Amino acid sequence: MLTLASDFGSPYPAAMRGVLCQRTDARLVDVAHDFPRQDVRAAAFWLRETLPYFPPATHLVVVDPGVGTDRSAIVVRTGEHALVGPNNGVLRPPARRLAGDGPIETYVIDETRLDPVEPTSGPSADADILGTDASGDGDGGPTSNTFHGRDVFAPAAAAVHDAPLSTLDDLAFLAPAESVVELELPTATVDAADDRAHGDVLVVDDFGNVITNVPGGYLDGRERIRANGDTVPVGETFAAVPVGDRLATVGSHGYVELDVNQGRGDDAFGLAAGDEVVLEPTSGR
């Protein structure tokens, strides 16, 4: 199984699917292609929360604001999962979650040793275009500087999928990585003295639910909390409050969410990804 995730929107994922179908018989499953554009942190969060629900697979991830720079392309192996993507940190939070207490091995991709991606067609009537060196690097190769999803990550993922995970070292285009870009999602702190939680909005989901990094346990035993100054009820479900009302609840990722029953929490709380959140007990408890 090979999963695909990107911030490409459409139709760029199709070219990746084409290359993958050319190279491997792997079953393809889309995770998402509309991650917030060029937002490495948001993608890392969603992948960390989603990939562990999949059976062992190769996960192709392309959220890559540095495409074409000297950032390297890497393969991460942990347990029976492999992740393929840019070395910009996006693979680290999901890899750590998948690894648990197990090891994480990281390899760097040598693009020049990948079997080059070529369209399947014969010589083109538009040969003036196809014949240009799209890479602009004078070597006449087909690798573009702007679409490594198609030209680098897809062929690498196909090869990784088809290789035994125990022998990734044997793939000619892989070598152990010497440096890996780290990414840590921010964590919340709870002040024992005043029982205040200081956290961040990790992401806002498509429903408008504001997903913080405050562990859900903070809500245990509370009927109300103050969120950035506003008092809202704590509910086990959205339906604990009337339609249109705000609440704090424990979301499906285990964190405190600030939501509106059948409405948008981000609008109602005035919060966006990256914003700070302070939760505190209400005086009346």
Considering only residues 20 through 49, tell me which ones interact with a copy of itself, judged by CB under 8 A.
21-22, 28-35, 37-38, 46, 49
First to last CA, the chain: 50
Interface with a copy of itself includes 134 (CB under 8 A)?
A: yes
Nearer to a copy of itself, 21 or 175 (CB): 21
CA-CA distance, 209 to 215, in Å (whole number)?
Answer: 16
- Contact segment (CB under 8 A) with a copy of itself among 8-16, 83-91, 166-174, 272-280 equals 8-16
147 near a copy of itself, rule: CB under 8 A: yes
Q: For 128, which DSSP code?
A: H
65 touching a copy of itself, by CB under 8 A = yes
Binding residues for a copy of itself restricted to 90-109, rule: CB under 8 A:
96-102
- Contact region with a copy of itself (CB under 8 A), list: 107-115, 133-141, 194-202, 268-276: 133-141
Cis bond before residue 52 (omega within 30° of 0)? no
The answer to whether residue 69 forms part of the interface with a copy of itself (CB under 8 A) is yes
Is residue 245 a contact residue for a copy of itself (CB under 8 A)? no
What whole-number distance in Å separates Cα of residue 157 and Cα of residue 85? 9
Beta-strand runs (E) in 69-165: 73-78, 81-86, 105-109
Binding segment for a copy of itself among 157-165, 174-182, 249-257, 270-278 (CB under 8 A)? Answer: 249-257
For a copy of itself, the binding residue among 12, 163, 165, 280 (CB under 8 A) is 12
Restricted to residues 254-283, the positions that interact with a copy of itself (CB under 8 A) are 254-255, 257, 262
Of 63 and 271, the one with the shorter C-beta distance to a copy of itself is 63
* Residue 130 binds to a copy of itself (criterion: CB under 8 A): yes
Closer Cβ to a copy of itself, 74 or 143, answer by number? 143
**Closer CB to a copy of itself, residue 21 or residue 272?**
21
According to the binding rule CB under 8 A, does residue 141 interact with a copy of itself? Answer: no
Q: Tokens for 190?
A: 């709870």
The DSSP element (H or E) to which 160 belongs, if any, is helix 154-162
Minimum CB separation of residue 4 from a copy of itself in Å reads 10
Judged by CB under 8 A, how many residues of this single chain contact a copy of itself?
93
117 touches a copy of itself by CB under 8 A: yes
Burial group, residue 172, by CB count within 10 angstroms (0-12, 13-18, 19+): exposed
Q: Which long-range contacts (CB under 8 A, 24 or more apart) does 184-192 make?
A: 184/92, 184/93, 185/41, 185/44, 185/45, 185/48, 185/93, 185/213, 186/213, 187/213, 188/212, 188/213, 188/214, 188/215, 190/214, 190/218
Quick check: 42 and 93 in contact, CB under 8 A?
Answer: no
> For residue 211, which of 42, 96, 76 has the smallest C-alpha distance?
42
